[in-house]
Chain A
Amino acid sequence: MNLERLPNEEKLSLCRKYYLGGFAFLPFLWLVNVVWFFREAFVKPVYSEQLQIKTYVKRSAFGLLLWVAVLTTWITIFQHFRAEWGEVGDYLSFTIPLGIP
């Protein structure tokens, strides 16, 4: 879909849908929202719906960063301590590497 061809109201509603959709544990929707609507929010000349779009994009970006931070921390901890945790580590794993603890 080409954003250029959409009327401004539809842009806003689309941006809102992506923003709300992201709350269903779908951080990638927020990522798409941020990338897709960045120009609309911050580069394009001012239009009436832009303020609202800007808020959605900012919040999406914030949520996304939060996800990234949480996931990175967890992955680091998990990879570092999986072997130490033994049984718990194995049950938390989806695929267990062969031949290493």
Chain B
Amino acid sequence: MVRPRTRKRNQEAEPGRFPCQHLLLCFPAFQTRKMDLLSNKWIINLIVCLFSIGVGCNSVEKKIYVHLNYTVPCVRLLNATHQIGCQSSLSGNVGVLHVLESEENLDWVLRSGPNPPYLVILEHPLFTRSIMMKLKSGSSRVAGVAVVASNTVPPDGFSPHTTCPNENSGVYSENYDPALAHCNVTVWNPLGNGLAYEEFDFPIFSLKDDNDTQVIRQCYMEHNRAVNGTPQYPLCAMQLYSHMSAVTDTATCMRRNDINFSISPEMVCDPLGDYNVWASTRPLNNTAKGHKDGESVVIAAARLDSRSFFFDIAPGAESGVSGFVTLLAAAHALRNATQESLPPRNIFYTFFQGETFDYIGSSRMVYDMQNDQFSVDLDNVHSVLEIGQVFNGIISSLYHVSRKNSSVNDEVRKLIDNLQSAATAAGVSADEPSFSQPLPPSSFQRFLRDRQIPGVVIEDHQSAFSNRFYESMYDNAEYLNVTYPPNLTPEEQLEFVTDVAKALTEVATMVAKALYMQAGGVESQLSNIKADPQIVTGMLYGFLVRSNNSWFQQLLPSDLISHLADRPTNFYVGVAQQSSEPTLLVQYLLANLTGTTPNITQEDCQNQRENEKDTESKHMFTYMWVQGAAPPNSTKREGFCVRSTVRLSKALSPAFDLKEFTSKDYSTWTESRWKTIKGRIFLVASHELEMLTLGVGFGILISSLLITYIVSSKADMLFSSGREPTNATY
């Protein structure tokens, strides 16, 4: 029912403009010098007229414009050498709508159409590199692009990322295995078209296929379709605002951030970054940084973030969620075993943020370890086990680097043996790739840059990614087959164990067992280690469908509940100042899944202590007061305290601490700031009509000025009949 009303607003747009132009007629009346009864009346009329127009102006605006409700822009990001993304001019880009039907149809936009610039509406299948590049090269006739996302996953795959993710920031370079650098052996993401790393000088928005797009289509059909060659005015047009403040590269924008002697100093960009989340099986003194004697640590890593072409849609189902959900489930599976018999080595569950953008999180952790800013240092690291994309839970590939160093090789062999025996026990197949390959893009590469640490990366692909939607908006629940039988309530969906959850549970069990063996745990505990499919399916539901569910609500403190939302989580890392939703969720999930619930009061819990005299525990543990569930016959939740070893560590690229904005070693990605992001549609009159209206307005203004002048200079003659000259007032 919304549709007819918005349509009507549209049709009224043209007449809606005229009331304001009556003002031109009225204004000169002010200049009448002689105050007599007649002009007094005029002025009162005028004031009433002005008042009513002033009040009515809002509705005039509404009559002219239809604002788009759901607008997701592509924004500008910058690194040491480039800017990528999109931007509009300061006052928004206006273009006549053109719904693109096929690639051949581009000719209308780029050459033959009579009313440039055009604002192109694309269906998602047409959002390809070839079309976008043609539009980019013909950008004098293109005002912007709006992409209508389809509700179904495209069958052929789509990835706006590059074919070789994090090509220049991994371990392989000209100095280290140059034969493997730049994806020479394996192109990891063959479907990548690189669109997300292009620069466009017009705005690109994503629209949902809903009422807004219906209005746009209808407006286009009624006004812009060419009947007998050329479309007739008025034409339907769209205006998109996404003006970006930063420009050129990170060095430029960070410098401009610091120049503050102008009248209104303004920040133009912010570094990308967030927090890494980590927890250890054995509590460590987190206040004392640097090397810990006698400590040997197995790092179990996964990455948290993802991205897509557009700013705040990054579902990252396979590229991020599958890996870290598996690690969370493995951490949970290990809770009981480690409580009963603590293995001699410590296990660090580590979740890295910002890995999409040249390994922000892992490079920072390694940097902190090198500079004694972290709880352990690199000498304490025994080995690394990283979980990559593991959606396809049946086949797992184990990647490792083979180096000449034989002691490291022996350790890697042991780790692989551990994994394979764990895999057999968990009913999963895990093999090494059939031919010698480099490591896929992974956080582990940042550790290898510093030194030879034995490690393995678990993936679900033998060579190229099996993920056909790497870092795209379609890497979502639907693609991962996280679907539920119809007629389930949200509560039932949360409980329902999907096939994907079952598969990931098996992988989690394998990871947990392997980690336990790797940490030197006793064989007898191995059979007790089992991941819980209920936990896995709950997490998949929470991250891919709706984070605002009853389970997540119980795990968070009451003041953070507002961060939960009724949509899939957005895994774009965002700027360093704001802690993002995924970090928060993983932090509390990890605490609840690995921690214990000591019986202490809310006050002590919030003050990070066991009791009033305790000042030591806060160095070893984190205490969180979460709101818990309400008992069956009550509405008041019963909160409880969670004691865990979960900590956050900064995931801000060291380049920003070192102020090396052109660094080749560290990520230099920044995000531009902006003021307005919005879009609206309206009808435009022809250029001639606009000029004519303006000309007539000016004509009336000039002639009324003339008349006023003549009347006032001849006033004595015109108004003198039977009255004294009004000189008494002067």
Contact = CB atoms under 8 A, between A and B. Distances in A.
B144 to A, nearest CB: 15
Interface of B is mostly: loop
B255 A98 contact: no
Interface stretch (A5-13, A24-32, A51-59, A86-94): A86-94
Interface string A69-101: 000000000000000001100110111101111
A98 B245 contact: yes
B669 to A, nearest CB: 18
Contact of B248 (A91, A94, A98, A101): A101
A96 B266 CA distance: 9
Contact of B255 (A87, A94, A99, A101): A87
A10 to B, nearest CB: 32
A96 B244 contact: no
Nearest to B248: A101
Interface string A47-70: 000000000000000000000000
Interface string B243-270: 1111110001001100101111010100
B162 interface: no
B87 interface: yes
A88 B617 CA distance: 53
Contacts of B255: 87, 90
B185 interface: no
Contact of A99 (B247, B261, B264): B247
Interface residues of B, number: 18
B87 A99 contact: yes
B90 A90 contact: no
Nearest to A83: B248
B243 A98 contact: yes
A12 B90 CA distance: 52
B262 A95 contact: yes
Contacts of B266: 98
Contacts of B90: 98-99
Nearest to A87: B255
A100 B247 contact: yes
B262 A98 contact: no
Contacts of A87: 255
A101 B245 CA distance: 10
Given A90-B255, A90-B256, A95 B263 contact: yes
A94 B263 CA distance: 8
A91 B256 CA distance: 9
A101 B247 contact: yes
Contacts of B259: 90-91, 93, 96
A99 B243 contact: yes
Contacts of B262: 93-96
Nearest to A94: B262
Interface of A is mostly: loop
A17 to B, nearest CB: 32
Interface residues of A, number: 12
Contacts, number: 34
B316 to A, nearest CB: 29
Contacts of A94: 261-263
A80 B588 CA distance: 54
A82 B218 CA distance: 47
Contacts of A93: 259, 262
Nearest to B90: A99
Nearest to B89: A99
Contacts of B268: 98
A87 B253 CA distance: 11
Contacts of B263: 94-95
A99 B245 contact: yes
A87 B251 CA distance: 9
B582 to A, nearest CB: 30
Interface hub of A86, A87, A95, A99 (most chain B Cβ within 10 A): A99
A87 B243 CA distance: 23
A86 B662 CA distance: 14
A93 to B, nearest CB: 8
Interface in B334-383: none
Contacts of B252: 86, 90, 101
A86 B90 CA distance: 22
B81 to A, nearest CB: 14
A87 B261 CA distance: 15
A96 to B, nearest CB: 6
Nearest to B261: A94
Contacts of A100: 247
Nearest to A98: B245
Nearest to B672: A99
A96 B247 CA distance: 11
A43 B548 CA distance: 85
A6 B262 CA distance: 44
Contacts of A98: 90, 243, 245, 266, 268
Interface string B71-97: 000000000000000010010000000
A86 B259 CA distance: 13
A88 to B, nearest CB: 11
A86 B255 CA distance: 10
A82 to B, nearest CB: 12
A91 B262 CA distance: 10
Contacts of A90: 252, 255-256, 259
A58 to B, nearest CB: 38
A15 B252 CA distance: 49
Interface string B266-298: 101000000000000000000000000000000
A87 B249 CA distance: 12
Interface hub of A94, A96, A98 (most chain B Cβ within 10 A): A98
A99 B248 CA distance: 9
B263 to A, nearest CB: 7
A95 to B, nearest CB: 5
Contacts of A95: 262-264
Nearest to B263: A95
Nearest to B256: A96
A101 to B, nearest CB: 5
A19 B680 CA distance: 57
Contacts of A86: 252
A32 B263 CA distance: 29
A96 B255 CA distance: 11
A16 to B, nearest CB: 37
Contacts of B244: 99
Given A90-B255, A90-B256, A99-B90, 15 more contacts: A86-B252, A90-B259, A91-B259, A94-B261, A95-B263, A96-B259, A98-B243, A98-B245, A98-B266, A99-B87, A99-B244, A99-B245, A99-B247, A101-B247, A101-B248
9 contacts: A87-B255, A90-B255, A91-B259, A93-B259, A94-B262, A95-B264, A99-B244, A100-B247, A101-B248
Interface of B: 87, 90, 243-248, 252, 255-256, 259, 261-264, 266, 268
Interface of A: 86-87, 90-91, 93-96, 98-101
The list of the 10 closest CB pairs from A to B, nearest first, reads: A98-B245, A95-B262, A101-B248, A99-B244, A101-B247, A94-B262, A96-B256, A99-B243, A99-B245, A99-B247
